[in-house]
């Protein structure tokens, strides 16, 4: 039977004949739970407080939203993820991330929910000698998880910071000069209850782990400084992650961390990489 134009133009006419079946809520006989199901790569505006200026920074985040699906349910309701996110008609504030995660769990009637944000964040930096001003962008991630059966929510903040490393082996064996690399240092942290760090604070800690920093603007006196600074502080990937681990160990606000460095080799056609993970809570519990 043909569908009338009235039915196509008026969705209420179709639903008045009876409730539409909810396939996703139907039982599933395969008895396999799904850890994460949801939507990925949503672009959404986010607003972050900038402690240096007392103002805010607007950026655009790539958002992933998931819930756990029990073994007895066929599927989840994908449109509800966007309904939760779009409750924030203006830019979402960073301090609302965990609240959105809890709303998602409630709206989708799930036992656990996961929310991920990844976005560029811009930091004002002055050149080391001339103080010429510029902006460096770093990659920031927020990962939030909430569960009905756990009293504490879980939040992980991550940053990926560019820097310079200079090879200590090259410096030791060469009569003059030493080869250096651009590197990316990535740190993810969990905070002690009631504690937090500004993105700028964590970025400053991470930058100190490299041979020298990178800057947006460098005049000749600045270039001389960073070249010599790297030469005076030779570090390879092993040195970088170990120094970062010591700095993170000394920071009481941080209870867990992952740190890695990937160095983009200048004399090889491959990259060098090192990684450390540590949960300080395990060591505290064993004391």
Asked whether residue 163 falls in the same domain as residue 265, the answer is yes
- Give the domain CATH number at 39: 3.10.270.10
Q: Considering the domain boundaries, does residue 79 fall inside one?
A: yes
Angle of the 78-85 helix axis to the 97-107 helix axis, nearest 10: 140
* pLDDT digits 0-9 by tens, 133-184: 999 999 999 999 999 887 778 999 999 999 999 999 999 999 998 999 999 9
- Separation in Å, CA 192 to CA 5, 50, 172, 222, 281: 60, 22, 41, 38, 9
Q: Considering the domain boundaries, does residue 129 fall inside one?
A: no
How far apart are the C-alpha atoms of 104 and 88, rounded to whole Å? Answer: 13
How far apart are the C-alpha atoms of 47 and 175, rounded to whole Å? Answer: 51
Position 266 pLDDT exceeds 80: yes
pLDDT at 150: 73
pLDDT at 235: 95
Asked whether residue 187 falls in the same domain as residue 85, the answer is no
pLDDT at 18: 59
How far apart are the C-alpha atoms of 152 and 141, rounded to whole Å? Answer: 20
Q: Considering the domain boundaries, does residue 9 fall inside one?
A: no
**Over the chain, what is the mean pLDDT?**
89
Banded model confidence at residue 29, pLDDT cuts 50, 70, 90: confident
Look at the chain and report how many structural domains it folds into: 2
Asked whether residue 115 falls in the same domain as residue 232, the answer is no
pLDDT at 2: 45
* HSE-up (13 A, CA, CB side) for residue 77: 17
pTM confidence score: 0.86
Residue 194 zone, left/alpha/beta (φ > 0; ψ -120 to 50; rest): left
Domain that holds residue 78: 31-122
């Amino acid at each position: 039977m043909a569908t009338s134009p009235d039915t196509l133009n008026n969705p209420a006419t179709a639903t008045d004949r009876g409730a539409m079946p909810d396939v996703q809520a139907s039982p599933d006989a395969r008895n396999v739970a799904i850890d994460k199901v949801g939507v990925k790569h949503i672009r959404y505006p986010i607003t972050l407080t900038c402690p240096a200026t007392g103002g805010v920074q607007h950026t655009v985040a790539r958002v992933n939203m998931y819930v756990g699906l029990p073994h007895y349910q066929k599927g989840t309701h994908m449109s509800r993820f966007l309904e939760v996110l779009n409750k924030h008609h203006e830019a979402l504030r960073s301090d609302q991330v965990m609240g959105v995660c809890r709303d998602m769990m409630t709206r989708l009637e799930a036992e656990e929910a996961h929310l991920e944000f990844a976005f560029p964040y811009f930091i004002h930096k002055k050149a080391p000698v001339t103080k010429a001003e510029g902006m460096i962008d770093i990659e920031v991630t927020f990962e939030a998880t909430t569960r009905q059966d756990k009293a504490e929510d879980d939040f992980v903040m991550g940053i990926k910071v560019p820097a310079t490393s200079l090879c200590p082996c090259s410096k030791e064996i060469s009569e003059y000069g030493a080869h250096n690399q651009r590197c990316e240092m990535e740190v993810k942290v969990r905070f002690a209850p009631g504690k937090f760090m500004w993105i700028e604070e964590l970025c400053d800690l991470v930058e100190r782990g490299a041979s020298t920093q990178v800057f947006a603007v460098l005049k000749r006196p600045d270039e001389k400084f960073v070249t010599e600074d790297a030469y005076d502080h030779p570090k390879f990937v092993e040195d970088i992650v170990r120094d970062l681990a010591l700095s993170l160990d000394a920071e009481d606000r941080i209870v867990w961390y992952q740190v890695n460095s990937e160095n983009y080799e200048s004399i090889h056609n491959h990259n060098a990489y090192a990684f450390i993970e540590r949960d300080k809570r395990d060591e505290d519990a064993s004391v």
